[in-house]
Structure 1
Amino acid sequence: MSRKHFPTLALAIACGIALAACHQQEAAVDAPAKAAATPPASPRMAPATIPAGNDVPLQIGTGANTPLLVNAGQTATGEIKVATAGKVAAFSVELGNFANTSTGMLDLQLCDADKCVTGSADLRSSLDNSLFAIALSAPLEVAAGDMLRYSLTKNGGNVGVAIWTYPALDESQKISLDGGSATNGRTAKLVLRYEP
């Protein structure tokens, strides 16, 4: 090889090395960063068995829904007027569970004057923005026009649950959180299941 071709060969080798180094650096820059691991959603479970019966929804007004957030250890309480006489076997409330991530138990106490029953259900069996049914420990016999008091307490779990509230039809329908003042003219969307 003649001397006059040596600078060209040296330049070609230098350019090749520089390009190879550029390519390696570019690959390092373009390499995707590892995404932070997203915690898995809580494993969901099948809903508890709810006795067969006739569902009677609480009549609510028209208008937008608003969430009432209930965290672990908090209790939402409310009152409703019963329109239908019979034996109530289950109680359903519309919940938002933050894209199926709420865990813990939702405990219910339902009272008609001095007669009270309880129930409890695992929030892992709830579906987001749907009615969540809780079977009662024993049927509660009610008469049309009775005023029922209920309390819903969230026990455990690190993600809260939202009770969807709607405009109330009358002053007898109300809901509040931890004994505070009642939400202004709002009530939960509830369904009572009566024994057949």
Structure 2
Amino acid sequence: MSKFNVASLLKRKDAPAPVIDQDRNTILFVCTGNIARSASAELIARHRDINDGWRFDSAGVGAVVGSGVAPDIDRELVHRGINIRGYRAKQMTRALAENAALIVAMDSTHRQWLIREFPQFHRKVVLLKQIQRAYAGGGEGNDALGYLTTLNLLEIPEDSIADPFRLGPQAAKKAVEEVEAGLDILLPWLGTRNAPQA
């Protein structure tokens, strides 16, 4: 697939209309290996069970396919009472992108990869920390999906959640806390609109 300048695509006023199917009910979290940040987001979101018909899934742009949650991350999640049994990492695919209502990336490299690989879905790709900024900057009171998929937020360095893999318990704790902070905004915001019935 040919490369293009992501920043120029995001700034263009004549960019193609979003390819959003309002019947989708899956929020897809994406990171590198799908064993730390995105795995945490999926498992925490499922654990919180906002019970509005939303489904939560995750994948990696370079997944450690079939692996469970990374050791330091699993301890953080278990400490929070989250069941990690049966979790297995999977590779990001076009089918996952197509079937997601929103694709939530953990850092800017994931977002750029997703936009490069699946340009037709660029409007539904957002960073978790961008969601926090969007909500604080006027998103409250608006439909989360509608607002996030039409907003044209530029990335800032603080929007990325650092990869904690093999960096020890403190890095794992920080990453999980940052994921939780993002979900503290996203999940209630999604709860203002029931998911479409599958």
Q: TM-score range by the shorter chain?
A: under 0.3
Structure having the higher Rg: 1
TM-score using structure 1 length: 0.28
Q: Which has the higher contact order (CA 8 A, sep 6+)?
A: 1
| Higher relative helix content | 2
Q: Say which structure is richer in strand.
A: 1
TM-score, normalisation: structure 2: 0.27
